[in-house]
Amino acid sequence: MDLSIYFNLPLWLRLAIQGAAVIAVLFPIAAACSMAERKISAWIQGRPGPNRTVPPFLAGIPIIVPILQNLGLFQLAADGGKFVFKEDPIPGHVNKLYFVLAPILSMIPALTTISVVPFGAYFDKAGELVPIILANVDVGLLAVFAVASLGVYAIILAGWASNSKYPFLGAVRASAQLISYELSMTLSVLPVFLWVNVPGGMGTLSLFDVVQSQSQPGLWGGMWYVFLMPVSAFVFLVALFAETNRLPFDMAECEADLVGGFHTEYGAFKWSLFFVAEYCHMIVGSAVFVLLFLGGWNPLPWIPLSMVSDWLSLGDNPVLLGALATLIFIGKVLFFIFFFMWVRWTLPRFRYDQVMKIGWQKLLPLSIGNLVVYAVVIALLERF
Amino acid sequence: MAPLLFYLLSALVLGTALLVVTSKNAVNSAMFFLISLLGTAGLFVLLDAFLLAAVLVLVYAGAVVALFLFIIMLLGMKGGERQPLSNSAVLASVVAAAILAIGVLSFVKHGQIAASVPDASAPAAGAVLKFYSAQLFTTYLLPVQVVGFLLLIAMLGVIVLSKRFEDMEKSK
């Protein structure tokens, strides 16, 4: 395959194409998650889910169309069309500027964070593993946290600009929740980086290096961090549910007591932007969890990608190996999105006071204790 | 490219910083402050201090301004409108800005920065995590401790001021 045409393009054009390609994959997956959510909820509740919609001009075709119909794909297309074409009213009592700005602000961090998340790797000509990533920055995880923390403004501004009581309450609750759980989330990943940054290194927060340190040979080198640091993984996962506003931490919406929470006054396309942004956050959050604790693109614990490429002799074929690594990674991420939905349709929602109690009195002490224990153990291991 | 970006970002930071003070709506002020902080993070990136940029966005833009907005909302300002600045506040801020400007100017004119800079090939202290943390734990250990202690005192002060202790004493 001759790729020289592509590599002869100017750098900015290539970067623009890469960025657009990543968004072109992320955005449809996020949209398709809404249908997956409906199908999985139906499956968990023992009902068929959306399986009726079909365009009339396709209704007669056998086999393929009924399968797509049963999967609800036409329903997904109809929903998407509805969001774009239906009337998009702006209520008279809102602050127009922030009302329109909020859904846009919700999309920006959701789509930006993916740029520092590696989603695959391949061997270059020199035999070095190279990550497939938009921007390989050294502060990787910190950049994800920093940009993702800006997502709280979409919720605050949407609730405030709506200028009515339920959205306001939803926004206050949700922003309190987001700020509270950010602490435990950040503290829970520190042991991972204490372990990754061996003495003598330059110090790194790069997600690629975390995966690299889970792909070493030997019992300890090939171990995924979910086995090595189960408490960290657990705290991170719980905080991730809270940060993405998923049940059982659905303080942003609280359908049962707050109508629709911060986006009660929104409809049509603006509402769907909030919706897609939530799924984008879920995808990026799952991706970060997979990289930190589940070995990234390594297929199984103790079986790194390099071993697979030796078996299949793909070492000199970067395109195929990169595609395989990306597929393994996306498979793990999709499993995590299924897990998000599984939990959502299994557990009831916490009350607001329970959310605060779990965040400040349970998770935060747990993550601090976890950090202290690992810091002491790692210091002792280095000494002896 | 870099000088142009520097001027653009500086103009953005200064312009939005001015708007923070002058805008009549408290929510607008907070949002301008947010943009100003993001511009400052951009300036850090121009200096290769990626870690500082990320931390600035994470702590200030992500949490502190969010808390500001939170408080503005909880105070229930009608539409976020706030009182115009009083004359004494304007006077005080002009004096404070003048003192700061004099301080910065004297530092730029007479400060001996050139002597302490190591050779240009070494990476900036904010660029590499190891150098940054080494500086925190060696050269700047005392300032870090002092600032931490100051924050602790501020936190205790807030607790004492906001919590009502009268009922507790009575129950004894």
Taking only the tens place, the pLDDT of each residue in A94-103 is: 888 888 888 8
Identity at B157, one-letter amino acid code: G
Size of interface A-B (CB pairs under 8 A): 81
Q: Is the pLDDT of residue A65 over 80?
A: yes
Residue A67 lies in a domain: no
**Residue whose structure tokens are 């925190």:** B136
Which residues of chain B have a CB within 8 Å of the CB of A204?
Answer: 129
Q: Which residues of B54-66 are buried (b: 16+ CB within 10 A; e: fewer)?
A: bbbbbebbbbebb
Instruction: Give all domains of chain B, ordered by start, each with its CATH number.
Output: 1-83 (1.20.120.1200)
Asked if A207 has any chain B CB less than 8 Å from its own CB, the reply is no
Report which of residues B122 and A294 the model is more confident about. Answer: A294
Residue A372 lies in a domain: yes
Asked if A175 has any chain B CB less than 8 Å from its own CB, the reply is yes
Tell me the shortest Cα–Cα distance from B150 to chain A, in angstroms.
21
Residue A358 lies in a domain: yes
Asked if A11 has any chain B CB less than 8 Å from its own CB, the reply is no
Which residues of chain A have a CB within 8 Å of the CB of B70?
Answer: 156, 172, 175-176, 179
In chain B, what is the greatest distance between 2 CA atoms, to the nearest angstrom? Answer: 69
pLDDT score, position A90: 83
User: For the purposes of burial, counting CB atoms within 10 Å of the CB of A29, is it exposed (0-12), middle (13-18) or buried (19 or more)?
Assistant: middle
Per DSSP, the three-state class of A12 is helix
Q: Is the pLDDT of residue A315 over 70?
A: no
Asked if A139 has any chain B CB less than 8 Å from its own CB, the reply is yes
Residue A4 lies in a domain: no
Least CB–CB distance from A142: residue in B54, B69, B79: B54
The angle formed by the CA atoms of residues A178, A110 and A196, to the nearest 5 degrees, is 75
pLDDT score, position B36: 94
Which residues of chain A have a CB within 8 Å of the CB of B1?
Answer: none
Identity at A36, one-letter amino acid code: A
Q: Is the pLDDT of residue A42 over 80?
A: yes
Residues 6+ apart with CB under 8 A from A57: none
Report which of residues A135 and A281 the model is more confident about. Answer: A281
Identity at B152, one-letter amino acid code: L
Asked if B63 has any chain A CB less than 8 Å from its own CB, the reply is yes
Please state, as a whole number, how many other Cβ atoms lie within 10 Å of the Cβ of residue B29: 20
Residue A63 lies in a domain: no
Q: How many domains does chain A have?
A: 1
Which residues of chain A have a CB within 8 Å of the CB of B55?
Answer: 142, 146
**Residue whose structure tokens are 């121009």:** B46
Q: Is the pLDDT of residue A256 over 70?
A: no
Query: Which structural domain range is residue A294 located in?
Result: 97-383
Euclidean distance between CA atoms A124 and A104, whole angstroms? 38
Share of chain B above pLDDT 90, in %: 31
pTM of the prediction? 0.86
- The complex's ipTM works out to 0.81
pLDDT score, position B124: 56
Residues 6+ apart with CB under 8 A from A231: A188, A366, A367, A370
pLDDT, mean over chain B: 82
Band (A312; pLDDT cuts 50, 70, 90):
confident
pLDDT score, position A169: 83
A-interface mutation test, from B34, B81, B129, most A Cβ less than 10 A away: B129
Band (A260; pLDDT cuts 50, 70, 90):
low
Residue A7 lies in a domain: no
Question: Quick one: which H or E segment has residue A130?
Answer: strand A129-132
Q: What distance lies between CA A141 and its chain's CA centroid?
A: 13
Encoding tokens for residue B15?
């312009």
B-interface mutation test, from A108, A116, A156, A243, most B Cβ less than 10 A away: A156
pLDDT score, position B122: 54
pLDDT score, position B16: 94
Q: Contact A139/B54, CB-based, under 8 Å? A: yes
SS (H, E, C) chain B: CHHHHHHHHHHHHHHHHHHHHHCCEHHHHHHHHHHHHHHHHHHHHHCCCHHHHHHHHHHHHHHHHHHHHHHHHHCCCHHHECCCCCHHHHHHHHHHHHHHHHHHHHHHHHCCHHHHCCCCCCCCCCCCHHHHHHHHHCCCHHHHHHHHHHHHHHHHHHHHHHCCCHHHHHHC
Euclidean distance between CA atoms A176 and B66, whole angstroms? 9
Tell me how far CA of residue B139 lies from CA of A26, A60, B48, B123, B164, in angstroms: 45, 77, 21, 17, 41
Band (A76; pLDDT cuts 50, 70, 90):
confident
pLDDT tens-place string over residues A329-354: 999 999 999 999 999 888 888 888 88
Which residues of chain B have a CB within 8 Å of the CB of A203?
Answer: 128-130, 132-133
Q: Contact A146/B27, CB-based, under 8 Å? A: no
Report which of residues A291 and B49 the model is more confident about. Answer: A291
Mean pLDDT, range A104-113, rounded to an integer: 88
pLDDT score, position B11: 94
Q: Contact A172/B63, CB-based, under 8 Å? A: no
Residues 6+ apart with CB under 8 A from A9: A17
Residue A71 lies in a domain: no
Orientation of helix A230-243 relative to helix A364-383, angle to 10°: 150
pLDDT score, position A142: 87
Please check whether residue A141 is in contact with residue A207, taking contact to mean a CB–CB distance below 8 angstroms.
yes
pLDDT score, position A27: 82
Mean pLDDT, range B37-58, rounded to an integer: 88
pLDDT score, position A173: 83
Q: Contact B63/A149, CB-based, under 8 Å? A: yes
pLDDT, mean over chain A: 84
Mean pLDDT, range A172-177, rounded to an integer: 84
Residue A69 lies in a domain: no
Encoding tokens for residue A130?
């190279």
